[in-house]
């Protein structure tokens, strides 16, 4: 923590939050928002100014750092007298730059969790407030599926990634704390998304890793569905896959980041698997459960991805049984190994490659959706503010289905049948509401 001004916060101050970067950053902002409410502050939504402004930054690429810088400058300009807190990866990797931006407090990634205790010191006349520290999790207002963060940091050091430096070594939340949160959240939410920077590195003492934790989670009666946000390929072992397939509380959706679509590229990226190994994981998953939704992150434009290499990437991607790709374009990041490589891919070429993979992804997604017409799946109805009419449910295998209902089904666990696939929407019929036949 670094305090850069003597500014204080009035009781019942308004507070607004903004972030750049990954889902974890958004999740952490939700937690801080909940903590600010317990301090008597008034969180604002979609406003440009507040008495306190909390900005969660990212530095995964140089352009993410630039976006973070722009965000801080913009809020400082429109909030001359506000108390501005900056946290997140950019404030950790480039702290000296952040200090120059005229803000009031810097919190590192570890300190976000202590937001309540740190900020409370700067609120005037706080004695009058009822500071009964209620459960932070219970007051977090998640849309439909809470993200439950069980791990932070990473020990992998992929050559293009700043995260191990920005978020530090892997650290796991104590298993009892996780299980208590799961118990609490699952009484309201039928689906929880289990998340972390590198989930496979979860560890609570020897011999208790992610698989053991998931087994304890599914044993909790109130838990209906758990979605694993993402898993590194080497962590999808046959044992793990069998557990996913056999346990009906685990969503049939695997996001398995591939990143480089060719063996030498994978080596240059310091990803520790080959295309053959990756392909075999997908094959096993598909064989054990044909309805699995299988997705991956792909990075294009890595410095050593020359034209010949990209031709092989195309060939390899076409052969993979993936249902969607999240495409990222490489952008150099200071303080990473990849930044020191002498080669560079032309920005226009990077754009074309990104388009090629995105187009392939759209085709795969359509094919995946069409393959499931006529089938019925478990799904969770989203909370959208509407109570009847057309509502949206997300199936176990990641298909957003629109259906009509006369009952308020927000956050209900249902079964839906997929009837029709449009260009960007899927329509279906409600078959069952929890234990009630229709």
Interacting residues with ligand SF4 (CB under 6 A): 154, 156-158, 161, 163-164, 197-198, 232
Residue 60 or 178: the one with the smaller Cβ distance to ligand SF4 is 60
Length reported for the chain: 438
C-beta of residue 376 within 8 angstroms of C-beta of residue 364: no
Residue 168 or 400: the one with the smaller Cβ distance to ligand SF4 is 168
3-state DSSP: the chain helix, strand, coil percent, rounded to 5?
35, 25, 40
* Spatial separation of the C-alpha atoms in residues 198 and 238, rounded to whole Å: 19
* Spatial separation of the C-alpha atoms in residues 389 and 215, rounded to whole Å: 37
Q: Supply the minimum distance, in Å, between the C-beta of residue 272 and ligand SF4.
A: 10
Residue 99 or 165: the one with the smaller Cβ distance to ligand SF4 is 165
**90 φψ region: left (φ > 0), alpha (ψ -120 to 50), beta (else):** alpha
Q: Supply the minimum distance, in Å, between the C-beta of residue 197 and ligand SF4.
A: 5
DSSP state of 337: G
Tokens at 261, concatenated: 């679509």
Centre a 10 Å sphere on the Cβ of residue 172 and count the other Cβ atoms it contains: 22
Q: In the chain, count of helices (H) and strands (E)?
A: 13, 19
Residue 264 or 387: the one with the smaller Cβ distance to ligand SF4 is 264
DSSP state of 9: B
Place of tokens 């590229």: 265
Q: Supply the minimum distance, in Å, between the C-beta of residue 254 and ligand SF4.
A: 16
Q: Supply the minimum distance, in Å, between the C-beta of residue 268 and ligand SF4.
A: 13
Residue 50 or 257: the one with the smaller Cβ distance to ligand SF4 is 257
Residue 146 or 260: the one with the smaller Cβ distance to ligand SF4 is 260
Q: Supply the minimum distance, in Å, between the C-beta of residue 157 and ligand SF4.
A: 6
* Spatial separation of the C-alpha atoms in residues 212 and 208, rounded to whole Å: 6
Q: Supply the minimum distance, in Å, between the C-beta of residue 430 and ligand SF4.
A: 39
Q: Supply the minimum distance, in Å, between the C-beta of residue 207 and ligand SF4.
A: 22
Q: Which residues are paired to 421 by β-bridges?
A: 426
Residue 24 or 393: the one with the smaller Cβ distance to ligand SF4 is 24
DSSP state of 37: H
């Amino acid at each position: 923590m670094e305090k850069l001004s003597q500014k204080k916060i009035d009781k019942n101050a308004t507070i607004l939050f903004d972030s750049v970067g990954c889902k974890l950053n958004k999740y952490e902002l939700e937690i801080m928002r909940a903590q600010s409410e317990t301090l008597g502050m008034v969180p604002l939504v979609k406003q440009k100014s507040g008495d306190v402004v909390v900005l969660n930054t990212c530095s995964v690429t140089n352009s993410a750092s630039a976006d973070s810088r722009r965000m801080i400058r913009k809020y400082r300009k429109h909030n001359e007298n506000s108390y501005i807190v900056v946290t997140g990866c950019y404030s950790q990797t480039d702290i000296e730059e952040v200090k120059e931006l005229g803000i009031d407090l810097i919190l590192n990634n570890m300190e976000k969790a202590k937001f309540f205790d740190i900020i409370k010191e700067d609120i005037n006349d706080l004695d009058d407030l009822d500071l009964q520290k209620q459960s932070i999790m219970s007051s977090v207002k998640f849309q439909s599926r809470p993200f439950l963060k069980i791990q932070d940091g990473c020990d992998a050091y992929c050559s293009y990634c700043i995260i191990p430096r920005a978020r530090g070594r892997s650290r796991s939340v104590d298993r009892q704390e996780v299980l208590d949160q799961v118990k609490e959240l699952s009484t309201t939410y039928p689906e929880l998304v289990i998340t972390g920077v590198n989930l496979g590195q979860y560890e609570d003492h020897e011999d208790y890793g992610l698989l053991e934790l998931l087994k304890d989670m599914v044993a909790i009666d109130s838990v209906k569905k758990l979605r694993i946000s993402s898993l590194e390929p080497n962590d999808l072992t046959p044992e793990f896959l069998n557990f996913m397939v056999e346990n009906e509380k685990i969503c049939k959706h695997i996001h398995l980041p591939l990143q480089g679509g060719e063996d030498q590229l994978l080596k240059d990226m310091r990803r520790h698997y080959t295309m053959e190994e990756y392909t075999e994981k997908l094959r096993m998953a598909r064989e054990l459960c044909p309805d699995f939704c299988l997705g991956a992150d792909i990075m294009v434009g890595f410095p050593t991805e020359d034209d010949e290499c990209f031709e092989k990437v195309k060939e390899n991607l076409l052969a993979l049984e993936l249902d969607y790709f999240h495409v990222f374009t490489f952008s150099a990041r200071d303080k990473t190994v990849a930044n020191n490589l002498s080669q560079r891919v032309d920005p226009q070429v990077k754009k074309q490659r990104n388009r090629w993979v995105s187009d392939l992804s759209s085709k795969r997604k359509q094919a995946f959706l069409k393959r499931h017409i006529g089938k019925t799946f478990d799904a969770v109805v989203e909370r959208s503010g509407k109570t009847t009419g057309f509502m949206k449910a997300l199936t176990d295998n990641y298909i957003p289905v629109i259906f009509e209902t006369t009952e308020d089904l927000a956050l209900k666990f249902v079964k839906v049948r997929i009837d029709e696939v449009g260009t960007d929407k899927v329509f279906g019929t409600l078959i069952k509401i929890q234990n009630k036949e229709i």
